Structure 1
Amino acid sequence: MGEGKPIKLQMKDISIEFPGVKALKNVDFMTMTGTSHALIGANGAGKSTLMKVLSGAYGHYTGEIYIDDEPVQIRNPKDAKDLGIQIVYQEVDTALVPYLTVGENIMLDYSVNDMGKKQVVSWGYIHKRSKEILDKMNVKVPSKKLVSELTLAEKQMVLIARAISKTCRFLILDEPTAPLSHSETEELFRIVRDLKQEHVGVIFISHRLPELFEICDDITVMRDGEFVVNESMREINQNQVVEYMLGRKLGDQFPQMDIQKGETIFEIRNFSDGEKVHDINIHAKRGEIIGIAGLVGAGKTELCKALFGLGRANSGDIILHGKKLRLRSPHDAVKQGIALVPEERRKEGILVGESVATNLTAVNLKKFSRMNLFLNFKKEKEAAREIIQNLGIKTPGENVRLQNLSGGNQQKVAIGKWLMTEAEVYIFDEPTKGVDVGAKKDIFELIFQLAQRGKCIIYASCELSEMMGITDRMYVLYDGMIAKELQTSETNEEEILFYSTGGK
């Protein structure tokens, strides 16, 4: 853990470029051990990039880093770890080895680095030490359980345990609460408060402003790769933070549109996926936005995937325009006019190593091919440029690799690729997860425009304010079943939460 007296960390004049993208421009950042510091900005502001510089993931930056006014060199992850700087990334699955146990993952640095030329692994020490760390965090996960069997929240706790298994002065948490339920978030905050007591400095990257005001002492705001302001949380409010992030006032987040509803075009009858969701009955009209509400683990994602042909043993009926659909794969779903924007966009919704243009046109290649054999690259790029402009995707061009774009702009691409398909039913699973307030507004406007065009929208989210702001009707899921159908205009967040937690 960190040491007793406060330690100051400073980053000065940090700049970094990627092909076609100047991600950071002379950024300053300062924090102390024993405090929690919010780092916030719109998608593409550079906050994750700045923390990747600090954690050694990007070594080609210019500028200086100081610890207690002494210059330090951080050009790779080992440099950062040796200085007591640890990071827990948003995409937890990419940082864990699924076929190893919890204990082996926590002690991974020990196994790889500290054993040196030892030929014998002390499994007893690995599991004893990892259990001590988990007990100290009050995390009830068996050390010998496989990581592949854990929930997202448990995986995140394992990564935090790994980070503090060695000397940790500064712990960076990138969107740590995005996959967590309310109770899991409270547990994470308890751990953060304990770490502060042990003189660890915690840096929070998040878009959830109420949480930041609850847990953080200071805040740094970035915009367009530049430093904007550093303030004490006591000296600033949420509206000011949003204005600093966007460089303007936000206005109404949810569009105000009067959308005419048509006939019922989509029905789900007595539907089960054979595992998580059971006996689901839903109907949706043309131009209607239907909400699927519920807490983390209620079965929202499983339902969305099953409706997209990803279930194994589906039973019941999926009916579109009066015709029963047989969906054995996502290919079948796309052919029948169903589109899905998945929760885990980097794993399931986009091709991060490919260009923006390739991603935007991937689901409708026929439209850009001659005789279904030769791709018309000029036509493909023209279509991609049109969607980039219409959705306000921040990218230097359509040929830039998607991995070089921010999370919010990647999400716009994940949505934008479906606009060329003319699907009938659009399923959105947590589409604003890890997205800033400005990009959220763009996504909401896009969804309303689809509804205006007579599309049927299914919107799954655990964000109650979004349920109230964007849907016409909603179904509340609890333990894989529909607990209640609610008219949005006649309900409130308290009632949604009541049914989400098993109320009857």
Structure 2
Amino acid sequence: MGDIRRSNIEMKNISIEFPGVKALKEVNFVTESGISHALIGANGAGKSTLMKVLSGAYNHYTGEIFMDGKQVNIRSPKDAKDLGIQIVYQEVDTALIPYLTVGENIMLDETVNDMGGKQFVSWKEIHRKSKEVLERLHVPVSTRKLASELTLAEKQMVLIARAISKECKYLILDEPTAPLSHAETEELFRIVRDLKQANVGVIFISHRLPELFEICDDITIMRDGEFVVKEKIANLVQNQVVEYMLGKKMDQQFPKHNITIGEKCFEVKNFGDGTNVHDINMYVRKGEVVGIGGLVGAGKTELCKAIFGLSKGTTGDLILNGKKLKHKTPHAAVKSGIALVPEERRKEGILVSESVSVNLTAVSLSKFTSLRTFLNFKKEREIAKQMITSLGVKTPSDQAKVKNLSGGNQQKIAIGKWLVGDSEVYIFDEPTKGVDVGAKRDIFELISGLAAKGKCVIYASCELSELLGITDRMYVLYDGEVAKELETSKTNEEEILFYSTGGK
């Protein structure tokens, strides 16, 4: 490789505030090219905010940024990109233009810049260049495919391709493995190692500690908007990282409650959505947490959405308390007593531009209206405040905008709105995606609390440790069908993985 000159970035005394929230307080961060650097902390610690400052998404911060000892001014995404700093956000859907092709999305910045001086765009050239980038990454996706047709994992790879399609010195990945399967994660790690070889600095925000220990060289830990420690990752063990993140020793992650499981309450019979899931047979008893396991693409999300009335052309039967449900829409599903906490919380689970109070009461407005016309705001806020306390939501007030809260707090709100509504069947689709260890435990407590009240809980996840920790039974999906029903206390990760990968 010869002698490669390492460059470095230093962020000094970075502070930033949002209405009612001091998100960063005098934070220092240093990294260099050619290494991968883990940036970690509990939800609300300020990791993503710090990286949004570095990538130019926020311009109202105070503090200084240096590259190779020289002060730089980053106040817009263009400033950052001109310095070779690229970011791939956690919410991949919002970063791609769905009606453009893969090739057009990858070359988007270049196309927009070129249009300044030219009247014509060479589509052939766009597809040739984007194909080259995808081949460099070993991503087998056609450049002619529409972004709207991609899986979450493919969208992630397309965004990485866009980031490295031009001069990239530092690549920031925000929860990059959240939507990826084990095999796709391995592929991403290969890409990260290749980028390091090419002297790119990779900053990795993730809550999945084993991954960070596998792929990262350095680690910076934050807590409550402040810098805690920077260390070589080889000098730490996972428990130390968790203690730095939380500021205290970690309690047992999965709460243990002695819950009496009742009779069969919710049944899914010969059920399918006509495309992704077929002939599903499963049941849930009162007070039981039933897992839906399987790899990315197995049909977990599609099954959850179909049960909730989000799919057209469903076949088979859904039976609740002995009665066949006829719902064909989410509205009818809610009236039938079914609740869904979706995987894509910002897109489908919350109203990001509304207040905490509005979000928590959105599903049960009839409880706060008199004569079906006037909303009782006082009562709505009282219930919202009770919910904020019982859920442990960190927010300056019930009137704070949900978009200004951390991912874990947004997830608690996505769950909390259904608790106000009091449903019979609760479906959780990847509820801990992008959520730290502290908030995860809170979510597991909520789920155990629902089971203790005799509710039916369906828990869909590709996190095997969570399925083993929180469920009573599980159904493993493979290729849209139930490959195996397992009793949680009598199985292990190896067996779940065996059936997840098509084992017979």
TM category, shorter: over 0.9
Cα displacement (A) at 1:165: 1.2
Alpha-carbon displacement from aligned partner over 1:138-177 (angstroms, at most 9, x marks no partner): 1111222221221111111111111111111100000000
Q: Which residue of 2 aligns with 1:11?
A: 11
Which residues of 2 match residues 270-349 of structure 1 at below 5 A? 270-349=270-349
Amino acid at match of 1:164: I
Amino acid at match of 2:106: I
Q: Which residue of 2 aligns with 1:80?
A: 80
RMSD (CA atoms): 0.9
Amino acid at match of 1:430: E
SS in 1 for 2:502: coil
Amino acid at match of 1:482: V
The CA distance in 1 between the partners of 2:399 and 2:4, in whole Å, is 50
Cα displacement (A) at 1:116: 2.6
Cα displacement (A) at 1:7: 0.3
Q: Which residue of 1 aligns with 2:139?
A: 139
Q: Which residue of 2 aligns with 1:166?
A: 166
The CA distance in 2 between the partners of 1:216 and 1:449, in whole Å, is 37
SS in 2 for 1:284: strand
Alpha-carbon displacement from aligned partner over 1:104-143 (angstroms, at most 9, x marks no partner): 1111111111343211112222111111111111111122
Q: Which residue of 2 aligns with 1:148?
A: 148
Which residues of 2 match residues 26-105 of structure 1 at below 5 A? 26-105=26-105
Aligned length: 502
Amino acid at match of 1:158: V
Q: Which residue of 2 aligns with 1:448?
A: 448
The CA distance in 2 between the partners of 1:212 and 1:391, in whole Å, is 29
Identity of aligned residues (%): 73
Q: Which residue of 2 aligns with 1:248?
A: 248
Cα displacement (A) at 1:342: 0.4
The CA distance in 1 between the partners of 2:427 and 2:169, in whole Å, is 43
Alpha-carbon displacement from aligned partner over 1:444-464 (angstroms, at most 9, x marks no partner): 001001100010100000100
Unmatched 5+ stretches in structure 2: none
Asked if residue 235 in structure 1 is aligned to residue 231 in structure 2, the reply is no
The CA distance in 2 between the partners of 1:420 and 1:335, in whole Å, is 14
Q: Which residue of 2 aligns with 1:23?
A: 23
Which residues of 2 match residues 197-276 of structure 1 at below 5 A? 197-276=197-276
SS in 2 for 1:105: helix
The 10-residue stretch of structure 1 (298-307 or 151-160) with the greater mean CA deviation from structure 2: 151-160
The CA distance in 1 between the partners of 2:132 and 2:482, in whole Å, is 41
Unmatched 5+ stretches in structure 1: none
The CA distance in 2 between the partners of 1:160 and 1:4, in whole Å, is 23
The CA distance in 1 between the partners of 2:501 and 2:274, in whole Å, is 23
The CA distance in 1 between the partners of 2:399 and 2:115, in whole Å, is 44
SS in 2 for 1:347: helix
SS in 1 for 2:124: helix
The CA distance in 1 between the partners of 2:163 and 2:400, in whole Å, is 33
Amino acid at match of 2:35: T
Asked if residue 356 in structure 1 is aligned to residue 359 in structure 2, the reply is no
TM-score (norm 2): 0.99
SS in 1 for 2:58: coil
TM-score (norm 1): 0.99
Cα displacement (A) at 1:394: 0.5
The CA distance in 2 between the partners of 1:480 and 1:182, in whole Å, is 18
The CA distance in 1 between the partners of 2:273 and 2:132, in whole Å, is 39
The CA distance in 1 between the partners of 2:15 and 2:36, in whole Å, is 24
Amino acid at match of 2:358: T
Which residues of 2 match residues 448-487 of structure 1 at below 5 A? 448-487=448-487
Amino acid at match of 1:473: R
The CA distance in 2 between the partners of 1:126 and 1:314, in whole Å, is 40
The CA distance in 2 between the partners of 1:124 and 1:472, in whole Å, is 54
The CA distance in 2 between the partners of 1:483 and 1:125, in whole Å, is 45
Amino acid at match of 1:246: L
The CA distance in 2 between the partners of 1:412 and 1:21, in whole Å, is 18
SS in 2 for 1:469: helix
The CA distance in 2 between the partners of 1:370 and 1:144, in whole Å, is 54
Amino acid at match of 1:152: L
Q: Which residue of 2 aligns with 1:129?
A: 129
Amino acid at match of 2:497: L
Alpha-carbon displacement from aligned partner over 1:278-335 (angstroms, at most 9, x marks no partner): 1111111110110111111000001101111112111111001100000110111110
SS in 2 for 1:328: coil
Q: Which residue of 1 aligns with 2:188?
A: 188
The CA distance in 2 between the partners of 1:279 and 1:143, in whole Å, is 34
Q: Which residue of 1 aligns with 2:120?
A: 120
Cα displacement (A) at 1:490: 0.6
The CA distance in 2 between the partners of 1:315 and 1:109, in whole Å, is 44
The 10-residue stretch of structure 1 (168-177 or 118-127) with the greater mean CA deviation from structure 2: 118-127
SS in 1 for 2:57: coil
Cα displacement (A) at 1:97: 1.0
Alpha-carbon displacement from aligned partner over 1:335-368 (angstroms, at most 9, x marks no partner): 0111000001111110000000000000000111
Q: Which residue of 1 aligns with 2:390?
A: 390
Cα displacement (A) at 1:187: 0.4
Q: Which residue of 1 aligns with 2:375?
A: 375
Q: Which residue of 2 aligns with 1:495?
A: 495
SS in 1 for 2:358: helix
The CA distance in 2 between the partners of 1:281 and 1:110, in whole Å, is 50
Amino acid at match of 1:442: D
The CA distance in 2 between the partners of 1:226 and 1:120, in whole Å, is 49
SS in 2 for 1:138: coil
SS in 2 for 1:346: helix
SS in 1 for 2:301: helix
Alpha-carbon displacement from aligned partner over 1:28-65 (angstroms, at most 9, x marks no partner): 00000000000000000000000000000000000000
Amino acid at match of 1:310: L
The CA distance in 2 between the partners of 1:480 and 1:466, in whole Å, is 21
Alpha-carbon displacement from aligned partner over 1:196-236 (angstroms, at most 9, x marks no partner): 00000000000000000000000000000000000001111
The CA distance in 2 between the partners of 1:485 and 1:351, in whole Å, is 36
The CA distance in 1 between the partners of 2:279 and 2:132, in whole Å, is 43
